[in-house]
Structure 1
Amino acid sequence: MNPLLGAEQALIGSVLLDPGQLSHLGWLAPEHFYLPAHQALFGALRKLRDDAHPALSRESVPLSWVTDAVGEASTHVRGLTATYAHTLIAACPRPAHAPVYGRMVLEGAIHRSITEHAIRLHQAARADALQGNVEGALHYADVLAGVLGDLAQRWGTEPHPVTPATPPANVPAVPPPVRTDQVAEDERFLLALLTEQPKAMDEVVGWLRPADFADPAHGQLYCCLGALHHRGEPIDRVTLLWEAQRRGLLADGTLSGDQFATICDDVGPGSAEWLGELVMRSSVTRSAVTSARVIRALAENEALAPGRLISHALHALGPLDEVRARWQAANGRPAPTPTTPTRSPAGPPSARVHAALARSAPRRFTPSSARPRSAPSPAVVRPLSRGHS
């Protein structure tokens, strides 16, 4: 059996057996379940509780608790029968373990939700790259960051970026960027313009970086232009070629003579600032695609704990935030709001407290000096988890 589906069945079965367990599951929502039938049943059980069902005031659970839950859930999904409800009851080992089952359901929902939003960010970034826009990618990056903050509160952790000890091993290779020819042409035109009009460097040097170029050779050549500009040395095709040689770009094959000639010969009237913004647009969408692919690979790793997953996902959004800030500067817009959720000054919300209380308590530790030495120590019994009583 799939562990996640087993946890969902056990959780609903525990509430069917013991309606009082709903009081320990206030941080869990119907949409956290994977199967639509389980979503409908959990929502129905919560509705019966809110409507003060008679089963809540009795010591023994009447059959009407089960039949009414099935009847309410059947208004939202088809094919649900009382037989399946009894199957869920049989799947529950112990009703008192409902908070732990709920934590398992929430963990699956966190992985699933992050995967879905990473896919949306990826799709939006690819669509923006085709249209020459960035708004869609930036919007879905904000949505993903908000989802990460909400999930962190539900799980009971503080949302903050953490660098993974090792990068995710299952990140697929990045496909060729869309509009490759147009992007390369824009980059060549910008480099040629900056070579012929050195003063134009002042228009882009404050926010355009070598990493913003899709072609690594173009990025290295822009780095050479930046070095000449920083040192106050003359900039033309001769000094630029000399700087490229000094940096080993010709020797290691990063740049060929034909490439350099093509760039320097492709000169015409234009605006360095406008061309730089085109390069920045491409950089924003590429960064969004990279962040989305990394986050999706992290979320698809079922062995990664939710707290670490959220922290690593926030870290993966960092490069996009950095490119986004420079894009805003290039357009003269105010600095964007950081996607990393900020810590609430009022302390942890109630949802976080409930999520934390639903976790297992640590094993009690008895100092060795306090143990009797004359007789063997009795077996240590692990205490019951919080919320298991």
Structure 2
Amino acid sequence: MPHTSDPDEDDLDAIPRPHPVFHVEQALLGALLLEPQRLREVTGISPDAFSTAAHRALFATIRSLPAPDPVEHAKNAKWLDTVLTTARAEACGLSAPYLHSLVQVCPLARHAPAYARMVEAEHCRRRLAAAAQRLTHTATDTSHPQRVAATLTEADAVATVVDDIAARFPPHPGSLPRTLVPLPARPQHEEAADEERLLLAATTAHPSSVEQMPWLTPGDFTHPLNAGLWQCLTALDRRGTPIDPVTVLWEAQHRGLLRPGANPRELLGLLSGSFGSPEHWGERVVQRSVLTAADHAGRAIGAFTDDVASTPYQLVVGSRRALAGLSVVRTRWRHAASPSPQPAHRTPRARATRAAAVPRAGPPQTTAPSATRSPR
């Protein structure tokens, strides 16, 4: 007969197994309960480094109580009773059998410093994972009134955690992060597409603004067509070609931006009409790019911390690489938010004249120049 599960029967398989660090914490606490004087050798961790409330309460209690005399401690359990009574104030589930089990599972008390180092490493992983999660949450929280400023604050907090891990675990020769972090596609929100279209139309109507926005790149756009049209505008401006909807349409055709069967009138309509200043819409576009880069950085760091095979060194290297991409966009956004005075705009005619004045190399001369005859 098939076995019918009892509703009151304990499903042990449903209980998540503790992580390896849980057993490391048990070994460390057992070593300190067995030989309390080993606490002098345990540095770099605090009660917050432990993964459970019971372990945090035990370690805090061991640190707060004076170590007993080793000889007396070997004869009786008086100090252990004091530890249990004190720790129960923070973790009422603690019991005397659990303290004795901690002592029994500790392989060697003299390895306490090594156990502490492992606990410290896992705590750094959890801290970094939490900071990365806050960064991603803030970057995607559309209800936040100051989302960009708050996101950059969280990015600085992540960088602080990374620097602290690097200080605790100095760099050493080792492999780079092996976790593959696929770059997610940029979200194509309708609001973002509208702002990009307004930027393209305003810039087409005011071509001189192209030189005022060197901080804007095609990668800041969420839609490939809009990114391509921005490249058309910058290319026309660089060559000194007049800019209007028709010239941009012609450039777009040569860059392969017009899909087969596309209606050119739609593109002309997109580039016609101007509402607001190009710099305003450009700042909005790069601001959205900052949030996207922060979201990508947070997810990448989260992937590194989720990989339990990553060492602290690999976490530092991978996180700094992820934050470097955000730093580039952040710098451009700062230039957009506080633009510096720009030189006077050169008209296309002036730039074309200047370009024409530059001497060009002619074809190679294969015959000797004829001698000039002297007058008779």
Fold shared by both chains (TM-score > 0.5): yes
Alignment of 1:124 with 2:138, yes or no, is: yes
Unpaired runs of at least 5, structure 2:
1-17, 341-376
1:275 corresponds in structure 2 to 281
Aligned-pair identity (%): 34
Change in Cα spacing, 1:164 to 1:156, as seen in structure 2 (3 Å) is: closer
Question: Aligned in 2, Cα 1:28/1:263: closer, same or farther, shift over 3 Å?
Answer: same
> Once the 2 structures are TM-superposed, how far is the Cα of residue 30 of structure 1 from its aligned partner?
1.3
2:108 counterpart of 1:99: no
Contact (CA 8 Å) 2:175, 2:314: kept in 1 or not? no
Contact 1:128/1:285 (<8 A) preserved: no
Shift of 1:7: 0.6
The answer to whether the 8 Å contact 1:28/1:102 transfers is yes
Q: Cα distance 1:239–1:325, how it changes in 2: closer, same or farther (>3 A)?
A: same
Counterpart check, 1:192 vs 2:201: yes
The residue number in structure 2 matching 1:183 is: 192
Q: Does 1:311 align with 2:312?
A: no
Give the counterpart of 2:167 among 150, 153, 175: 153
* Aligned length, in residue pairs: 322
> Is contact 1:194–1:200 with CA below 8 Å preserved after alignment?
yes
Select which of 263, 272, 281 maps to 2:270: 263
Contact 1:203 / 1:272 at 8 angstroms: preserved in 2?
A: no
Which residue does 2:50 correspond to in 1? 33
Q: 1:137 aligns with which of 151, 173, 177?
A: 151
* CA 1:215–1:174: 2 relative to 1, 3 Å: closer
Query: Which aligned segments of 4 or more residues in structure 1 are displaced greater than 6 angstroms?
Result: 56-59
1:230 is aligned to 2:261: no
Contact 1:128–1:136 under 8 Å retained in 2: no
Separation in structure 2 between the aligned mates of residue 146 and residue 231 of structure 1, nearest angstrom? 45
* Counterpart for residue 8 of structure 1: 25
Taking only aligned residues, the RMSD between alpha carbons, in angstroms, comes to: 2.7
Tell me, in whole angstroms, the C-alpha distance in 2 between the residues paired with 1:185 and 1:223. 18
Match of 1:78 in 2: 92
Q: Deviations over 1:103-156 (max 9, x none)?
A: 221222122111111110011101158757301110100011101111222233
Change (3 A) 1:107 1:249: same
CA-to-aligned-CA distance 1:275-325 (integer Å, 9 cap, x gap): 111112211111111111111011100011111112111110111111111
Q: 1:68 aligns with which of 73, 76, 82?
A: 82
Q: Any conservation in 1 of the 2:177–2:310 contact (CA below 8 Å)?
A: no
TM superposition score normalised by structure 2: 0.78
User: Aligned partner of 2:192: which letter?
Assistant: V
Q: Is the 1:19–1:55 Cα contact (8 Å) retained in structure 2? A: no
Larger relative contact order (C-alpha < 8 A, sep ≥ 6)? Answer: 1
Question: Which aligned pairs between 1:334-373 and structure 2 lie closer than 5 A?
Answer: none
Q: What amino acid does structure 1 have at the position aligned with 2:27?
A: A
SS in 2 for 1:270: coil
Partner of 2:247: 239
2:104 to 75, 90, 111: 90
User: Which residue does 1:328 correspond to in 2?
Assistant: 334
Q: Structure 1 residues 123 and 199, CA, compared in 2 at 3 Å: closer, same or farther?
A: same
The separation in 1 between residues aligned to 2:96 and 2:155, in whole angstroms, is 43
Matched, 1:115 2:122: no
Q: Which one-letter code corresponds to 1:133 in the other structure?
A: R
Displacement of 1:83 after TM fit?
1.6
What is the CA-CA distance between 1:20 and the residue it aligns to?
2.3
Conservation of the 8 A alpha-carbon contact between 1:174 and 1:290 = no
Larger radius of gyration: 2
State the TM-score, normalized to the length of structure 1. 0.75
Separation in 2, partners of 1:229, 1:132: 34
Amino acid at match of 1:192: A
Q: Once the two structures are superposed, what CA deviation does each residue of 1:179-221 show, in whole Å capped at 9, x if it has no partner?
A: x1111111100001111211121332x2111111111221121
